[in-house]
Structure 1
Amino acid sequence: MSAYGSLLKNLINFSGSKLSTVAEEVGYDVSYISKWCNKAKLPASKMAPNINRALANHFSHEILKHEDLSTFSKIFSVEATPETLNSIIYTLLKENYKESSREAANDLNNSEAYKTKILSLANDIYEFFNHELPSTILSYNEPLEVLCTLDICRFININNVDLPIYPTPTHEVNVKMALSSKKLFSDSPYYLKQLYYFINSHSYLTFDFYDNTLMESLNTIIIKDHMAILCAVDQYNRILTATVVTDPEKVNQIYIRTLPSFRTADLLIHATESEEFYQHGYRTDFYSRDNFQIFLARGFEFLLPVECWESITRTALERDNDEFMAHLVAQLQITWEEIFEKNSMDFFVLKSSLMKYMEDGEIIFADVVYNMTPEERKLHIQKVLEITKKNPNIHFYVIDDEYLPNVQHLLHTSVFNNRKKLFLKNPERYHTDIGPHLYSVLSDQLIKEVNDFLDNLKSHPYCFSYDAEGIQKFAEKYGSLIYRMIDLSAFKTNK
């Protein structure tokens, strides 16, 4: 009800007037009077002065006739006399009409701003999903909650490598996304690789991936408080039409109806902050097992020499002011010394990452970003050689990523697997402070798929294997060259 309608209804009730009588006074059908009172409708602006004058004449006459002037003054918060009553009622009607007209104009503008958009042309759909939607998400400049019931396996493909590059957002974007376990667990590792590339290409977004059992036919994307996109998809998984809703009230109605489809029981991959990861003892339990597969996309933080531990601990305390992390580093030193003595470990490292480590010495140890000094890097190499001599169950697999030119930029998330538990580490988070620190994989089937994938990776021509003996021979052949590279990096840094 508008302010004008509320006032008019109150005047009718107070004066004891019938709608039919009021309608006769102003010369309009009784249905108009009812709409003005109850449905936020207003008289036409050209006719409003005459209508308000007629209404003021009628109501003032009725109030004076029934001797209700003093009661009127109290209820309507005015000081009226028989001489001023008509003018006061007219002024009240006029001012409330103006206020309601402004509200109506704002409502009209809002309805235009929130006008639903329907995309049906292929070019328009492509532009919206590849350019307009990502830019819009970045433009909100506030934390966002997103639901996506579209199965990511339908849309991830080799084109991941051709995705437009957008600036890193300054706000957290948390996405609950559907994932088809049927496709992911198929015989081909295609979807598994593409999912990994997708996570890498969107490292600044925080994803929780859910099995899509309850949402296969929903085909919606909802940005809470901002936008809902309802898609019609054909049998080839192409989007035929997309309806874009921006009215916040409608968007949130769709959000509330869709959210229950994302059940905790269906969660496959969960984005996790470091605090949550450590507090529940996940890392400690992870390293209490055997038979590790570890893919490191940046640096090499394992098999560290004793001389490095104190420096990393001091960095956590003094630079990061993180007493808990300093304590954790000390704990890991003890744990890892025992693990590396006898446990089986497969380390997968990128050739480009190793080269970069030789140059800048950067590792991310737990949550501590630390740059090994040139001397520490040399001691690190010696420690690796010393431990592998004692433990022949440690194997290195160097992946020459020059053989993978189309996806080199999508290989920066590390994988930690002990064949029973698996988590991913997002190094980008430690440099941008946006996106998740870690992903924990909750699906046993998915862990098995990753086990098999990494085992099969060993047979690829771009994956070079080094056992204990092989690493010793490599060091004998190239050790002096590697040390010269480290010394050269120190010279460049000092310069």
Structure 2
Amino acid sequence: MKKESYSLVLKELLNFSQIKYAALSHAIGYDLSYVSKWTTGIRLPAAKNVDRINQEIARFLSEIIIKQNNLEAFAEHFLGRESIEQENVAFEIYQSLSCAYRSSLECKKGVSISNITDDKIVLGKAECFAFLQKIIKEKLEESTVPPTIIITGEFFNLAKNHFWQIFYDIKLNHWPCDIHVFLDLSELEKGAIGAAEILFQCLNDLLNYDFTIYEKKSNAYNNIIAINNEFVIFYSVNAAGEIEICTSSADLKQAHSVYTKCKQFMASQPVILEPKQTLGMTRFGFRDQFYASQKFFFFCVNGFEFLLPDEVFNSMIEKAKVGNLGMADVEWVQRVQNLFKNLLEKVPLRFMLPTNSIVRYLETGNINLTDFPYQMTIEERKLHIKHVLKLIQSNPNITFGVLLPTTEKYSGTNFINLSFNTSYSTGFLKKNIQLIHPDTLPIYFIKNTMLLNSFQAYFDNLTKSKHYKEYTAKELEELYKKYYFLIEFLFKE
């Protein structure tokens, strides 16, 4: 519905349903003089009673509209669509009245936060952030089940309000924690490289959360945060996109209704980023589609799983035979080995590795072969280095670059735990398995071309950074000889 004042929305609803003020007064149990002042804008309902008043108005008017068989007209006039289910009418009216109430409060002069905090209505940017931080932290840490958060606001607008920082210090007792949120692709397009960096940094910083991101194509059910079925927060933003008004409700019936409606609505929208457990074991699934390309870029921060020598694959096969390689069986390992040997050693490849990630790999030997963890022995790591140098010399299409350390404000070159793999038509992000809870999903499928292109542009831009350096095969061999002593030191057990 339209964002208007409370009086205009209420008056428009009454006119549409052809209900007199007296009839509404009788239905909700309020004196006619109160209803009259609400519709003229002289007064607003009291903050402590407004939620119940809006629910009663919504229930009464929805029953009238349904009896009048005016569902299609209601949907067209107020929602801008062709139809609406009967059970959704009351919620839409309630949501419209609640939003209008918050809008009217925003415009009203002289409202003091000290007078309304007890009624769970908060005004002011700083006050709203503190309120959201306190409520979300409490609800997530007190949750007795793995929490799910439905957020109908827009990702970049929330980032602008520092919303995602709220999750940095939360200590959950139950995992996984699912976050569902919208993202406006036009904001991504406008922000280009900068917007992609904000998104990537957030996903990297909040590695232990599973984000499902939907394309924002509508303002329906806007600016709601629902936590499981237990709590709901409504917020509004000013013209600059700043969160300045928050209201909340712990009423279980209402929270359940809002959570369910928002979840159903989000499920009908396009998913652009989706968490997954695995790339898939089946033939011709996502994994095979990804490698059906002739050009690749790999931003590797969780070890270096590519260009592995046969000795490593043989060791994996032996582990798979006795069930020590997760879900991977012998056939899967052999298929990946043949895939890498026949494709990745011949086509154009660009690898980008932060230097601190290289050191971590040399020290620990931890890699994730596509999506399964494996720890290489010291001898296997030595063989790997020599094998990589040999292949780079034989394949001039392999580009190997590193991101050097920096003390500047986050630039994408500080310690990172989220890899990015792209075939320029398909892509995915991969978390560091050693750093996440076992119940957290380790992979994100990128399911939107614009999002994939934005990530690609961000990493392409990093290659122009003063902190990035590409090496020829000869330069890498010289570096290996120069720092051989250091590599041997890292290999000491």
Q: Please confirm whether the aligned pair reaches a TM-score higher than 0.5, indicating the same fold.
A: yes
Distance 1:213 1:414 in 2: 28
Is residue 2:117 matched to residue 1:117?
A: no
* Distance apart, 1:312 and its partner CA: 2.5
Larger Rg: 1
Distance 1:410 1:362 in 2: 16
Asked whether the 8 Å contact 1:378–1:483 carries over to 2, the reply is: no
Asked whether the 8 Å contact 1:312–1:368 carries over to 2, the reply is: no
Distance 1:429 1:390 in 2: 33
1:296 to 294, 300, 318: 300
* Distance apart, 1:393 and its partner CA: 0.7
Q: Deviations over 1:272-299 (max 9, x none)?
A: 1217575771111211212101101121
Distance 1:460 1:399 in 2: 9
Asked whether the 8 Å contact 2:367–2:374 carries over to 1, the reply is: yes
Is residue 2:426 matched to residue 1:421?
A: yes
Q: Residue 484 of structure 1 aligns to a residue in which SS?
A: helix
Is residue 2:323 matched to residue 1:322?
A: no
- With over 3 angstroms needed to count, the CA separation of the structure-2 counterparts of 1:333 and 1:142, relative to structure 1, is same
Q: Quote the residue 1:486 is aligned against.
A: 487
Q: Residue 379 of structure 2 aligns to a residue in which SS?
A: helix
Distance 2:119 2:283 in 1: 46
Q: Partner amino acid for 1:207? A: F
Q: Partner amino acid for 2:406? A: E
Q: Partner amino acid for 1:472? A: K
* Distance apart, 1:453 and its partner CA: 2.5
Q: Partner amino acid for 2:169? A: I
- With over 3 angstroms needed to count, the CA separation of the structure-2 counterparts of 1:161 and 1:306, relative to structure 1, is farther
Asked whether the 8 Å contact 1:146–1:222 carries over to 2, the reply is: yes
* Distance apart, 1:306 and its partner CA: 0.9
- With over 3 angstroms needed to count, the CA separation of the structure-2 counterparts of 1:315 and 1:170, relative to structure 1, is farther
Q: Partner amino acid for 2:377? A: T
Q: Quote the residue 2:374 is aligned against.
A: 370
**Which deviates further from its counterpart, 140-149 or 317-326?**
317-326
Equivalent residues in 2 for 1:42-441 (5 A)?
117-157=120-160, 164-167=168-171, 169-186=173-190, 188-215=192-219, 218-274=222-278, 281-318=285-322, 320=324, 322=326, 324-404=328-408, 406=410, 411-428=416-433, 431-441=436-446
* Distance apart, 1:152 and its partner CA: 1.0
1:459 to 464, 472, 493: 464
Asked whether the 8 Å contact 2:236–2:243 carries over to 1, the reply is: yes
Q: Quote the residue 1:474 is aligned against.
A: 476
Q: Residue 301 of structure 1 aligns to a residue in which SS?
A: coil
Distance 1:158 1:461 in 2: 30
Q: Partner amino acid for 1:486? A: I
Q: Quote the residue 2:36 is aligned against.
A: none
Distance 1:314 1:206 in 2: 33
Q: Deviations over 1:408-446 (max 9, x none)?
A: 666211011011001111114765214222111111122
Distance 2:269 2:133 in 1: 31
Q: Partner amino acid for 1:271? A: P
* Distance apart, 1:189 and its partner CA: 1.4
Q: Partner amino acid for 2:373? A: V
Percent sequence identity over matched residues? 21
TM-score (norm 2): 0.70
Distance 2:281 2:270 in 1: 20
Q: Partner amino acid for 1:433? A: P
- With over 3 angstroms needed to count, the CA separation of the structure-2 counterparts of 1:133 and 1:277, relative to structure 1, is farther
Q: Quote the residue 1:35 is aligned against.
A: none
Asked whether the 8 Å contact 2:194–2:458 carries over to 1, the reply is: no
Q: Partner amino acid for 1:282? A: F
- With over 3 angstroms needed to count, the CA separation of the structure-2 counterparts of 1:284 and 1:479, relative to structure 1, is same
Q: Quote the residue 2:88 is aligned against.
A: none
* Distance apart, 1:460 and its partner CA: 1.3
Q: Residue 324 of structure 1 aligns to a residue in which SS?
A: coil
Q: Residue 433 of structure 1 aligns to a residue in which SS?
A: coil
Asked whether the 8 Å contact 1:290–1:344 carries over to 2, the reply is: yes
Q: Quote the residue 2:447 is aligned against.
A: 442
**Which deviates further from its counterpart, 240-249 or 482-491?**
482-491
Q: Partner amino acid for 1:453? A: Y
Q: Residue 377 of structure 1 aligns to a residue in which SS?
A: helix
* Distance apart, 1:157 and its partner CA: 4.9
Q: Residue 214 of structure 1 aligns to a residue in which SS?
A: coil
- With over 3 angstroms needed to count, the CA separation of the structure-2 counterparts of 1:239 and 1:122, relative to structure 1, is same
Distance 1:274 1:218 in 2: 32
Asked whether the 8 Å contact 2:462–2:468 carries over to 1, the reply is: yes
**Which deviates further from its counterpart, 306-315 or 176-185?**
306-315
**Which deviates further from its counterpart, 239-248 or 425-434?**
425-434
Coordinate RMSD, CA, aligned: 2.6
Q: Residue 268 of structure 1 aligns to a residue in which SS?
A: strand
* Distance apart, 1:452 and its partner CA: 2.5
Asked whether the 8 Å contact 1:118–1:243 carries over to 2, the reply is: yes
Q: From the two aligned structures, give the one with the greater helix fraction.
A: 1
Q: Residue 169 of structure 2 aligns to a residue in which SS?
A: coil
Asked whether the 8 Å contact 1:201–1:410 carries over to 2, the reply is: no
TM-score (norm 1): 0.69
Distance 1:360 1:330 in 2: 24
Distance 1:116 1:225 in 2: 21
Asked whether the 8 Å contact 2:300–2:351 carries over to 1, the reply is: yes
* Distance apart, 1:212 and its partner CA: 1.3
Asked whether the 8 Å contact 1:171–1:434 carries over to 2, the reply is: yes
**Which deviates further from its counterpart, 167-176 or 156-165?**
156-165
Asked whether the 8 Å contact 2:234–2:246 carries over to 1, the reply is: yes
Q: Deviations over 1:174-208 (max 9, x none)?
A: 22101111111125311110011111121111111
- With over 3 angstroms needed to count, the CA separation of the structure-2 counterparts of 1:226 and 1:410, relative to structure 1, is farther
Distance 2:348 2:266 in 1: 38
* Distance apart, 1:140 and its partner CA: 0.4
Distance 2:183 2:168 in 1: 23
